[in-house]
Structure 1
């Protein structure tokens, strides 16, 4: 079976496939998701198989209108309602307590009594969810552990032959996964489990105190949100982060070239102009702009990882871990397995 690239004009083909229990990748403003009917346990299990995803890693439920959350929870705090009104549709995922564990298959929740919900800011996907008359799971549509896909081409590369189709909505505008905010803490203070384009400051400005998760999962502990436990976003080519404050780009290039390594550069154009003697370059931004760099990070990791480029190591630009830089560095650190030069 060859995976179909589905044009937006043929959205009914994608809708019919979802209703049959098949898998269809859909575009969002963050990354491409791998869609299946969230109420169909058999279909959801196929998502794990297609991705090679650990089965205790919960999935985000994608909705087309805010009222759909009420089908699954009786516990929407006032702060959560404020966030939904302000940021939905958009790159914010909220975790709620479920009415009971029977409202969603355990393969969606990872066996937890909570579930994560998001209303993506993409009209094509909102139509897909609405016309499918259900809600959809939507983990990133890639082979588990590789950089997330931000184009239909990326999805096809990873999952051709494993899913029915890819609804092609063009390139994603944000480029990294949504902010995940846990609304179920005992003391009522929301906790950011995964940083994203919606920053801590934006959340705090609206609802007051918001905390960052500092908990490190034990070996047998189930994560409450995607991206908390497993190595993520890593290309096959090793990634090494360069601390821009140390300005040791050329030192790193010289070191790897001396030991016979072909070096790929993932940075702004401003940084590249200062360098010499590298093998290949992917431009994250014109200047060191974190929003633009975040949008192109996964595409850059994928581009420099192509075997024909024969790159042995990717040197990647870093940003201060504040505001959107926190989301960028969260992904890059996992892609680099925490390694700095």
Structure 2
């Protein structure tokens, strides 16, 4: 395939075509505020199977279904607690996925055989326009894990999607170029199947934010619910990732701008704050591979904001592929 063959600008016509292609069973990589997702009709088993094939994703690893508005979750979920409604009203559209007991619409090929379903309303003008167009065509939702090979670094640009997946796409598939992702790490996943919420994957919606809205203390006991990005090894570039150590000449280096870069070290990113750190992290890790670096040292940001999600992703990345 020629470089960029699948990439399309996000014109109104392109979004309409993308919705039609999804309905016909094709794959569409779409921009969201977190990372780019590889989308398929969430009710089409054959189309969803192509997501797993393109990503090399284990069959028991569940997918998140994206819907156009909060009202749509009632088709996918059987039990929706009041605290989940409060979270949806506050943080949707936004970087938050809620886990519910599934309805009959959510089949095993979406849930990984579990009795739960993950749902999200993304906060990106292109994603929302595509979801609205798809809904007009009778679509119920778009299943969309990150648009990369399983275990690799998630893409935050259309170019990164193309570099990662072009060899696994076919005629009819599309990559919608909606610019760089503004959050940069995947959504917070919150288990809403119990009497209190539980964070299953940290993201931009923090524990403090959840407790403030719900008035509930987070559940902290263990759960056997499987969710995206929960394996010990994940988010990994080809380069080895080392955390909070002194970089050596020839290493790549990612740290806040206030941290000095030693001589001979390749500075990959110098974010000004934790939010920018999240936004540029994955592109910086990809840059290390593009430069054929063998090691990347990351000085992790501190705090209990989005830095919690950054540290979670980096810990998994440091364990390799």
TM-score, length-scaled by structure 2: 0.91
State the partner residue of 2:184.
175
Alignment check: 8 A CA contact 2:23 2:134 kept: yes
- Map 1:46-195 → 2, pairs under 5 A: 46-100=50-104, 103-133=105-135, 134=139, 135-163=141-169, 164-185=173-194, 188-195=195-202
State the partner residue of 1:220.
none
- Map 1:244-323 → 2, pairs under 5 A: 252-253=246-247, 256-257=248-249, 262-273=250-261, 275-278=262-265, 280-286=266-272, 289-306=273-290, 309-320=291-302, 322-323=304-305
Aligned length: 309
Give the distance between the partners of 2:18 and 2:8, measured in 1 at CA.
Answer: 7
When the two chains are superposed, the root-mean-square deviation of aligned CA atoms in Å is 1.8
Are the structure 2 counterparts of residues 75 and 43 from structure 1 closer, same or farther at C-alpha, using a change threshold of 3 Å?
A: same
CA shift, 1:236, in A, is 0.4
Larger Rg: 1
SS in structure 2 of the partner of residue 305 of structure 1: helix
SS in structure 1 of the partner of residue 175 of structure 2: strand
Alignment check: 8 A CA contact 1:145 1:233 kept: yes
CA shift, 1:213, in A, is 5.1
State the partner residue of 2:9.
7
SS in structure 1 of the partner of residue 62 of structure 2: coil
**Which stretch of the first structure deviates more once superposed, 122-131 or 55-64?**
122-131
Alignment check: 8 A CA contact 2:99 2:190 kept: yes
CA shift, 1:230, in A, is 5.0
After TM superposition, what 4+ stretches of structure 1 lie above 6 angstroms from structure 2?
none
Residues 183-233 of structure 1, C-alpha deviations (whole Å, 9 max, x = no match)? 102xx011100000000000101112343656486xxxxx52111125211
Are the structure 2 counterparts of residues 145 and 80 from structure 1 closer, same or farther at C-alpha, using a change threshold of 3 Å?
A: same
Give the distance between the partners of 1:272 and 1:216, measured in 2 at CA.
Answer: 41
Alignment check: 8 A CA contact 2:63 2:145 kept: yes
Give the distance between the partners of 1:230 and 1:55, measured in 2 at CA.
Answer: 17
Give the distance between the partners of 1:216 and 1:146, measured in 2 at CA.
Answer: 25
Alignment check: 8 A CA contact 1:266 1:300 kept: yes
Alignment check: 8 A CA contact 2:77 2:117 kept: no
SS in structure 2 of the partner of residue 112 of structure 1: coil
SS in structure 1 of the partner of residue 154 of structure 2: coil
CA shift, 1:321, in A, is 5.3
CA shift, 1:67, in A, is 1.3
SS in structure 2 of the partner of residue 39 of structure 1: coil
Are the structure 2 counterparts of residues 149 and 88 from structure 1 closer, same or farther at C-alpha, using a change threshold of 3 Å?
A: same
Residues 297-335 of structure 1, C-alpha deviations (whole Å, 9 max, x = no match)? 1111001111xx232211112122522211110011111
Give the distance between the partners of 1:143 and 1:284, measured in 2 at CA.
Answer: 27
Alignment check: 8 A CA contact 2:211 2:218 kept: no
SS in structure 2 of the partner of residue 231 of structure 1: coil
